[in-house]
Structure formats: C-alpha cells, structure tokens
Structure 1
Amino acid sequence: MRYRAYARALLPALLLLTGAAPSAPAFDLVPLGVNGGVEEPTSAYHITARGARSGVMCDAGTLAASIDQARRRGRYPRAASRQEVMTSISAYLITHAHLDHVAGLVLASPDDTKKDIMALAPVNQAIADHYFNWSAWPNMGDRGASPRLALYHYRDLEPGGPPTAIAGTGMSVTAYRLSHAGSPSTAFLLQNGSEALLCLGDTGPDAVEGSTRLNELWRAVAPLARQGRLRGIVIEASYPDPVPDARLYGHLTPSWLGKELQTLRGMVGDDTRMKALPILVTHIKPSRTSRSSRVDVSRQLKDLGFFNFIVLRQGRAYAL
C-alpha cells in the first residue's frame, strides 16, 4: 500500500519542486509487464481514467499471471478475481504484433470477455493472419479464417485521425505511426477530457530509422505538454549505451531517448513544464552479461539530467 501512496503523491510533488501548480491525477496506470524480448513479464499497461471502473490494456505481452501478481499486491482493491480484472478491460490497444506485445492476449483469450482490439490496420491484420487463424490459435476475432468466434472485434484506427471514443472508459484514443525497423508500430494518445497520456510502442530514433515519425509525434503532443495537459509519456529504452546504431533493431537507448526528448523540449518551449513531465521508461531488454540492464539504463538516464525519468516497475500503481 505504501507504493500506491507514493505513486499518487509523486506527480504533485515533482510539480511543486519545479514551480508548476499541482493538479489532481487524471489517469491510473498499472504496468503488468515492463520488459522487452525474452524476459517476462513483457509489455502490458493497464490504464484507466481516474475514477473509472473500466479501462484499456495498452499491449498485452503478459496478462493473466501478471494480473494475479498485481492483485496479490493490492493494485486491484475492488477486484476479487482475475476474471473481474479481465472484464474491466474494455479494449486492447496493440502497438504492434510482435510476440512480446501480444502473447498474453492470445493465451488468455479463451477466458476473456467480448471486447475490441484497437490498432492500426496492418497491426490488426497481422494478428488475424498470424495468431487467430486456427493454426497458431483458434480464431477469436471477427475477420480471417472461418469459423470466426468473434470474441474480439477489430477496430482499425486511422493514423493521426480524430480521437476515437473507447466505450465504457471515459477515454478516447488517437493513433500515430512509429518506425520500428520495418515493422509497423504505434503511439497511442489517450485523452480523459482535456488531459492526455502518451503510450508508445517500440520505436527507433528518427536519425537511425530514416524517418520523421517521432518528430511528427512530438509536434502533435507539444501543445499538450506546453499547457500542462500531458500527464506522462510511456516510452522504451531497450538497451543501455553504448549500442552501435546498426544493432538497435528499431529501439532506443538512454542517449537516443535523451536526444529525442530534447527535440520535444525545443517544441514545448517551457522548461518548467518539460522538467515536470513524467517520462515513464519501459521495455528494457535483459542483459547478455552478468550486469543488470535495468541498473545500467537507470544510471544512464540519471546521468542525462534535466528530464523527469521514472523507470517503471512491474505491478506498481502510478497516478498521473
């Protein structure tokens, strides 16, 4: 319980330190998986509008077992069972179709309830073609191989389009394309009234990817950050520095994350707001040596200075 109290106090305290006026939380976030690659639990973030009973799962690499762990830690005080938590998920927002982002969704589907899978069209198509196809798994969707069990309804999102309401959650979402070494990936901008939370899937830096997609995303969210309405950015830092650009495989390191955030900082033009903005770092891949990637990434982020980096912990509650 002390972690929840700490998390809920975190943002107002940081705002006070930077001279900005504190405001009440607008979102609750429980990371069910924060690792990338082969080490579970992998990417899954349960997000609800503050005070709402139903929310969304942004990616679902890990699901059932991590819900049980979070329940044991008291992160779902109103839920008596895993099934109640699953029922409270109104939709899945899937950033891309790599296994460490969708495996939990596929495996938990026989015990799930009807809901939408909201994603860019090529991401939804990949899920239908490669997972729910009666070869890898029964077809739980409403497109693709017959028979279609239609537990899940695919909702294709138009990149950069108008906000799409998510039924039962009090939130809307806008999808933005990311560049991930040739795989379609997504950033989701969730909005609760006038407040927003940005959740990115895997992404490489624009300079390495030969892309402008992060730059375009920063331009889209900079006004929200300038107004103090962007409550946080969930973003990866998969590897500690140094990693050769040719071996990033569509990911960020602390140094590349810092460079991208400096671009956003310049667009925001308000250092007080930018210093208060929680940068919620996740998707850290396991080390191939005896050293801890999480320790190294945390240290390197701290050494960058200026930004309000928070390395997400699995199963903790964050109020934003």
Structure 2
Amino acid sequence: MTNKGWRAALIISAGLGLSVNASAGFKVVALGVNGGVEEGNLTSYLIRSDDQSRYLGLDAGSVLPGIGKALEKGSFPEVTSENSAPLTPKGAVFRNLISAYFISHGHLDHLAGLIIASPQDSKKPIYGSAETIDTLRQYYFNWKVWPNFSDSGSGQRLGTYRLNAPRLGQRFSLGLSGLDGVIYPLSHGGIGSSMLLVSRNNDTFAYFGDTGADRLEKSRHLDAAWRALGEEIKQKRLKGLIIETSFTNQTPENQLFGHLTPALLLEELTHLEGYAGGKGSLKGLKVVISHIKPSLTAGADPRADIRQQLEQGNDLGVNFLFMQQGDSLEF
C-alpha cells in the first residue's frame, strides 16, 4: 500500500471509534451471494473483527459491484467522500479497507472479481490451499489469461499480490486484518476446496468454500471440519458460519457436482450437533446460506424454495440467515 493509502486507511479507521475488546465479535459484509450465472453477484464476503478497521476478503467472485451495493446500503458508514479522497468511496474500501484475501478454491465464480479488478488494487496477500494458490499461479496470473499481478509464476511478476499457501491445519496470521486463520480441506466434486476458521481474541467464525456432502464425495473432510467446529461451540467461541446450499432438494444427487441441498446440509449439521455436545447444542447458531444457484426458468425461485426446505427440516434450532448483496451482519 502506498503512503497515501495508509493515510486514507488511518483516516477511515479513526472514524470508527474502535476500541480493543476481549470478545469483540465480527462484522460480515456480503459483496456477492450467488453461485454462478449472474456475473455481478458472485460469492464474495468481507469479515473484520469489531476491534479492527480492516477486512479480510472471503473469496472474491464479485468485488467492486458488491462494494458499490454495500455503500448504497450503508454497510460502510465509516467511509465518506471526504475521507476517501483522492479515491472514490468504492476505491477506498477496495484499496484501503480490504487488507487480504482468502480464496477457497480455484473456480472462476470465487475469484473473477479479484482478477478483473487487480490492475487497480493495492499490494496485499492472498491466502489459500497449495492447490488453490497453484491454480492462481498457473492458470490465471500467467500472461495468457491475465497479466501476472502476483509475486511468483511465469513472465514478468508485477507483485501486487503475495501468494501464500499455509500448511493445512496450521494457524497463521491473515495479513494486516488482525485475524488468524486455520485452513481445513473440503471435497468439491473431484477438486479440492477449503474452509477457513477465522479467529480473533476468543472468538471464531467459519467460512466454507464450495463443498459436497461427505457421503456423496466419499470423503471425511466435512467430518473433520465438524469435529473442529464442535469444539469451538463447546468452548462458546464460534460466532457463526457461512456455508453453501446451491440446489433445492429436487435436484438429483448425481447432478449436484460437489454441492449441497437443504437436506444434505441438515444431514451434515446433525453430525456437527453430535460433536458440539448433542441434542440442542446448535440452538441459535447463526448459519449464513450462500452460493444459491439462480434459475432462468420463469416462475422459479430457488432462494425461496431453499429457505422453506431448510426451515421445514430444521429440528436443530439453527438460525438460518440469507444475506443479499450489500448487506452487513454482526456476529
């Protein structure tokens, strides 16, 4: 980040009136919530601790359109035209308030916004599994698909992004966000995806990239993630999680391509309940439903159908939340 960028970030931060809190909680802003089709509203979230001013990007399918919508909705009250100068408010959020990115896997609907906006971005790190970072290096930042804005790989390295692949299961610092993270592997229709467990002080939050159910993926990855989150719930640290539910229950299992339905998510959350202490242990847990696939069929409303199907089967007491692009929530 340039000196001007640092000054702008400090000015914006000062407007927050932040103070260190032993249990601060998190703020999440949705920059994109859909799982494909609509290129302006693809999976992308921002998260920060309530005692920090800068955000971590959780995937980056749509970035600048989502920032614009979030500004319209008042999700960045600390950002004004005055304290953003010489940037626009959208530019100030993009360049100064997003301090790093976590990319869950290499599919285009989770990183297109980052790629397209990279010529205007400030220097920052990108974190992901070794498979994801290798995909970015080989197939995106390679001067064939896009100029190499990273610090490794082929051709001239422009160095905007520092690519990092921390060891799975090992805690690490997430840039200048003040957050720590642990990456857990997921299985997504034959490719690797990942979950990030974010932590700050004594609070945690889980972000899941695309994932299929263990039963269909013939995997134990979700089981390992549930074991970890079960312990977080027992210790009263887990503030919430974001997980996909891409298709309705009417979708045949052989056409899910590594995604979840309401029935499969509820099935998986039952396993989490077992690890969290048994019946009733998930009551009130905030679960944001992400990556719903829009339909181009007249009269179809997958979001409404998925919401109804989750609520009908919800004997866990989970609080299912459906964010729209630009929304912000406190956890």
TM-score, length-scaled by structure 2: 0.87
Whole-angstrom CA distance in 1 between matches of 2:233 and 2:295: 33
- Matched-pair contact (CA < 8 Å) for 2:100–2:176: no
Whole-Å separation in 1 of the counterparts to 2:319 and 2:293:
21
Q: What is the match of residue 64 of structure 1?
A: 64
Provide, for residues 270-309 of structure 1, a one-character-per-residue CA deviation record: whole Å limited to 9, x for no partner: 5444111111111000124221100100111110123221
Which portions of structure 1, spanning 4 or more consecutive aligned residues, are displaced by more than 3 angstroms? 270-273
Percentage of identical aligned residues: 37
Query: What displacement does 1:51 show?
Result: 2.8
Q: Secondary structure at the match of 2:219?
A: coil
Query: Any residues of structure 2 matched to 1:53-92 within 5 Å, and which?
Result: 53-80=53-80, 81-86=89-94, 87-92=96-101
Report the secondary structure of 2:206's partner residue: strand
CA distance in 2 between counterparts of 1:157 and 1:247 reads 33
Aligned match for 1:309, one of 290, 295, 320: 320
For 2:85, the equivalent position in structure 1 comes to: none
- Aligned mates of 1:172, 1:234 — CA distance in 2: 17
Does the C-alpha gap of structure 1 residues 84 and 271 become closer, same or farther in structure 2, counting only changes over 3 Å?
farther
**3-state SS of paired residue (1:148):** coil
SS of the equivalent of 2:27 reads: strand
Gaps of 5+ in 2: 1-21, 81-88
Partner of 1:178: 186
**What residue in structure 2 maps to residue 243 of structure 1?**
251
Task: Check the 8 A contact 1:177/1:185 in 2, yes or no.
Answer: yes
Q: Is the 8 A contact 1:59 1:92 kept in 2?
A: yes
Using the TM superposition, give the Cα deviation of residue 168 of structure 1 relative to its aligned residue in structure 2, in angstroms: 2.1
TM alignment of 1:101-140, pairs within 5 A:
101-140=110-149
Aligned equivalent of 1:35: 34
Match of 1:223 in 2: 231
Structure 2: distance between partners of 1:179 and 1:167: 26
Q: Give the partner amino acid of 1:147.
A: Q
Instruction: Give the alignment's TM-score, normalised by structure 1.
Output: 0.90
User: RMSD of aligned C-alpha atoms?
Assistant: 1.4
Cα distance between partner residues in 2 of 1:238 and 1:125 = 26
Q: What is aligned with 1:284?
A: 292
Which deviates more, 250-259 or 125-134? 125-134
The CA distance in 1 between the partners of 2:155 and 2:125, in whole Å, is: 19
> How many angstroms does 1:191 deviate by?
0.1
Q: SS state of the match for residue 296, structure 1?
A: helix
Instruction: Render the CA deviation track for 1:184-223: whole Å, top value 9, x for unaligned.
Output: 1010000011110000000000000000000011111111
Count of aligned pairs between the two proteins: 297
Decide which of 280, 294, 302 is 1:293's aligned counterpart.
302
| Residues 228 and 273, structure 1, Cα contact 8 Å, conserved in 2 | no
Q: 1:118 Cα shift? A: 0.3
Instruction: Provide Cα deviations, 1:124-144, integer angstroms capped at 9, x if missing partner.
Output: 110111111111111000111
Matching of residue 204 in structure 1 with residue 212 in structure 2: yes
* Whole-angstrom CA distance in 1 between matches of 2:296 and 2:75: 32
